[in-house]
Structures are given as structure tokens and as C-alpha cells.
Structure 1
Amino acid sequence: MRLQNHDNESDIEQFSEWILNMGNGKLSEPNDGSAEIDISEELLIVDYDNPIDAIVSSTYPNLQEHYKDEQFLQCRAILASTIEIVDQINEYVLMKIPGDEKEYLSSDEVDMSNANDNEAFNILTPEFLNSLSTSRLPNHKIKLKVGTPIMLLRNLDQPEGLCNGTRLVVTKMANHELEAKIMSGKNIGNITYIPRLSMSPSQSPWSFMLIIRQFPIIVSYAMAINKSQGQSLESVGLYLPRPVFSHGQLYVAVSRVKSKKGLKIWIHDKDGKPLKTTTNVIYKEVFQNL
């Protein structure tokens, strides 16, 4: 649907069929579980010295000239399979753009109301709690500059368009509040203010419930593939130093783009050597009752 509405290329049918076959597990059959699939050379980035710089330059050309341009930022994103890789890319981009950087640290604690008087939770240090991360919560340390694109992780004001997944660009930074301009959804251009919130994951990946007080945002030059669901983008850089690992993850990544020319993929092995194949994970039992 994204391609049909926005793409006038002559090979739109071939490209859309490739995406659908990827999502249905019809590439490199038998593909029921994990399988290696070929990626067209025209989609690949193979000429580079610094891999992160290559994907950033491809997705955000002339970034230093457009780093405050919300129209430039709103239609682009780099996607990766893990939070660690996403954080590396975002930190690299922040170093490249001008402006003063401000760092915000979270205040973390254990929710003792559900701890069932387990004394072991009392010895969890702040440093240990600060080190925990999950895609459902913001990072302990958030670095920002004016012009940084961010994404909300919580619904703040749905009538105003401030929902989980809304993208904004930072316009001012105070100690306890951020001013930002909305750049996705129905209220594009509106200025809003984001406070710090106390948050916990709806399903804790740990044996205790973590409470984190932080701005409910992530920097979104790069984002995890799962966080990109629902986004429609002009330019997508898919960065895969590690292959995808969950059902449909690769399909979600490549189907965010509005045209074939807007998709660039960078894949390499553990030694940094460029690859032309990657892993696609599809479990066909998911489709049996559809």
C-alpha cells in the first residue's frame, strides 16, 4: 500500500512482490523458521570505510545542513535489530551535528509493593538498575541537542496527537522539561512540552518491577525495527551487523519505505566483510489459522 500510493517506478510490482514474498516466507524455500535470502545489489551498501558513517551518510545526506529541518528528519530513519546497535548509531549522529549537548539521567528504583518482602531486592544497587535496558523503557542516559529527532514511548495526550510512536524534534531543553515540535501524525508543526514520568514495563523481563523516572522518549535518528511499526518513510537505512532474530522482523523493516530507491541495506559478517545475503525468520504456523 505504501508503494502504490507513493512510488511511480516501473518495477513497483516486482519490488512489492519481493517484500510480500519475504513476509510470507516464500523466498529461498523451504523457509519455515530461519533461512538465508539474497539481497539485490542495487539495495546494498558495499563501498565504505566506516560502516556507521556509510549508513548515516546514505540515510541522512548533508545532515549538517539539515539537522534542524523537521521535513528532512521526519521522512528518514535508520533501522537495526538490537537496542545496542541503535544506541551506537544515535550517539555517532549526535557527535556529527553542531550544538551544545545536554545529558539527562534517570532515577531508578524497584517497586517494593510487589516484591513480596523479598530482601534480596534491597541489595540491588543504583548502578545495576541503571544498567538495565528494554525497548519498553527509555535509556538511563539520554543525550540531546536542539534539532534531535525523538519518539514518544508513552501516550501523553491522544487528542493532541501525543501517542506512543509519535515523532518530534527537540526545540528547547530545560532541566525538567523538553520543548519539542511534532513531526508525525495529524498535528504536525504543533509545539508541545514533555515532562519526566515514572514508568514501568507492562511486562517486566526481570524478576522484579523496575520503576524509572525519565523523559518518555528515545532518540530516533536510528530505532529498533520493532519500534518502526506504523511508520511510513521516504528513506530507510537498514543496518544489519547482526541478523534479525524474530518472526517477520525483516519484513517490517523493508516495508516501512515508500519506494525502492529509498531503501539501502548494509550487511556484514563478524569480521566486517560485506555480505549479499541475510537471515529471514518466518514461522509459517503463524499463518495457519488466518
Structure 2
Amino acid sequence: MKLLMSSSDQHDGEMKRFANCILDVENKNISSAVGDKSEVEISDDLLITTADDHLFHLVDFSYPDLLQAIPDYMYLQSRAIFTPLESVEKVNNFILTIFSGIEKECLSSNTTCQVDKNEDVQQEWFTPKFLNEIKCSELPNHKLTLKPGISIMLLRNMDQTLGLCNETKLIVNELGNNVIGATVVTGRNIDDKVYISRMNLVPSDSGLPFKFQRRQFL
């Protein structure tokens, strides 16, 4: 007897295979050592093989017909681009160019935290320019460039009673000087209209020998 796999079963199977592949990469089960580096062989069906404009093809592959499809919340729930920290800004800036509307730059305020008197690090060593340029996975960047209609994702738990938790996705509706108006598109409070304000954030491990605080939108 021949069993036919439904499209749902096939999708679940593909997702499981992809997840296992990512775990194998993380656990170094499918890598081989080449000198002091590791190489990972990736299946052809997971590769974008076009020779020109790789970023365009990556976004188009992950978000086909983006402008037409984005009002459908299910479209955003099932898609994401995972990228190294150093590439996030490049991908975000490219996606911004797809949307019409006026960009708004949201700048953070950064200060060093009070240190123990016995520590050698002195607050006056760090200029605002130096603090502004710090980027780490736990914090939004000093400069966030946004447009109405784009999708954003929270990096911290903001208000669990409203469903505003880490990795919650939202669609930007309006951009004020001190708040962002947005619609929740994932989680248990889908379609809720919320306002996000700037918050004081201190990374737990920035890899730096001092602590600093960034006041920025999540």
C-alpha cells in the first residue's frame, strides 16, 4: 500500500529536517576541520544559487510578494530571516527600501553605569560616540531606522500581560518622537494596538569590561 503525504505533513517534515540540520551545525556534528577552521556542507535545496544580488534573492525567497502579503498575519508568523549580528543592519536596511513612506531615525541615549570604586574602569574614558557604536545581541542599535508598515520584533519581555514578550512580532502603524504605535501579529494578543516607549536596557553580557545603559525602543 502506498501512503500519500499531505502538504501539511510534508511541510512539518521539511521543518523538522531543517531544524535538525541547524542543531547539527550548532553541535558540530556535520562539520569538518580544515586547518584552524570548520567547514559545513549544506544541502543544495537550502542554498540560494543565483550569482547576482544575493540579498535581493534572500529576501524574495523568504518573503515573496512582501508588500501584497504583509497584511496577512499568518504570512509573518511563518517567516523569519536569521542572520549573524554583523549582517542584521544590512538586511533591515534593504527591506526598508521596499516600503514606501518617510523613514524616521530613532536615536538612543547611552550612559555608563556606576562602577565599584575598586574597579580600574573610569566612566570618563567613554565618549558618547564610542557608546553609540556598541552593538550586541541583547540590545537594539543606537540608530533604528523605521517606516510605517514594516515588521519589527521585540528583543525583551516588555509587558507579559499584554503579550509583549521577547520575539513578539508587530507591524508599525505610526512613529512618534517618544512612542511607536504598532499592531501585534504573533502570540495570544493578535490584532491588539499597542504603544511602545523607550526603555532603559543594560546588557547582561556585552563582552565589554564595563556596564552601560542604553535608552531605546525595544
User: Considering the TM-score relative to the shorter chain, is it more than 0.5?
Assistant: yes
Q: Which amino acid aligns with 1:12?
A: G
Residue in structure 1 matched with residue 45 of structure 2 by the alignment: 42
CA distance, structure 2, for counterparts of residue 154 and residue 14 of structure 1: 26
CA distance in 1 between counterparts of 2:73 and 2:57 reads 22
Pairwise CA distance, 1:198: 1.0
Any unmatched runs of 5+ in structure 1? 217-290
Match of 1:195 in 2: 197
**1:212-262: CA deviations, max 9, x gaps?**
11111xxxxxxxxxxxxxxxxxxxxxxxxxxxxxxxxxxxxxxxxxxxxxx
Question: In 2, distance between residues paired with 1:18 and 1:53?
Answer: 24
Aligned 8 A contact 1:60 1:76 in 2: yes
Structure 1 distance, partners of 2:72, 2:15, is: 33
CA contact (8 A) 2:121 2:210 kept: no
Change beyond 3 A, Cα 1:35–1:184: same
Aligned residue in 1 for 2:76: 73
**Residue range with higher mean Cα deviation, 87-96 or 150-159:** 150-159
Q: How many residues align?
A: 210
> Quick one: distance in 1 between partners of 2:217 and 2:29?
42
Deviations 1:72-104 (A, max 9, x none): 223211111x21211101111101211111110
How many percent of aligned residue pairs carry the same amino acid? 37
Cα distance between partner residues in 1 of 2:173 and 2:15: 41
Inter-CA distance 12–34: structure 2 relative to 1 (3 Å threshold): farther
1:139 aligns with 2:141: yes
2:142 matches 1:122: no
Equivalent of 2:212 in 187, 210, 213: 210
What's the TM-score once normalised by structure 1's chain length? 0.63
User: How does 1:31-180 map onto structure 2 within 5 Å?
Assistant: 35-80=38-83, 82-114=84-116, 116=118, 120-180=122-182
Alignment-mate amino acid for residue 150 of structure 1: I
Question: CA separation in 1, counterparts of 2:54 and 2:15?
Answer: 29
Any conservation in 2 of the 1:180–1:192 contact (CA below 8 Å)? yes
Report the Cα offset of residue 179 of structure 1.
1.0
SS at match of 1:211: strand
Asked whether the 8 Å contact 1:168–1:182 carries over to 2, the reply is: yes
SS at match of 1:77: coil
Matches within 5 A, 1:251-270: none
Amino acid at match of 1:198: N
Q: Following TM superposition, by how much is the alpha carbon of 1:18 offset from its aligned partner in structure 2, in angstroms? A: 8.5
Letter in 2 for 1:192: V
RMSD, aligned CA: 3.2
- For 1:61, the aligned partner's letter is P
C-alpha spacing 1:120/1:63, structure 2 compared with 1 (3 Å):
same
**Which secondary structure does the structure 1 equivalent of 2:135 belong to?**
coil
Structure 1 distance, partners of 2:110, 2:154, is: 19
Cα-to-partner distance string for 1:110-131 (whole Å, 9 max, x where unaligned) = 1125465757421311101101
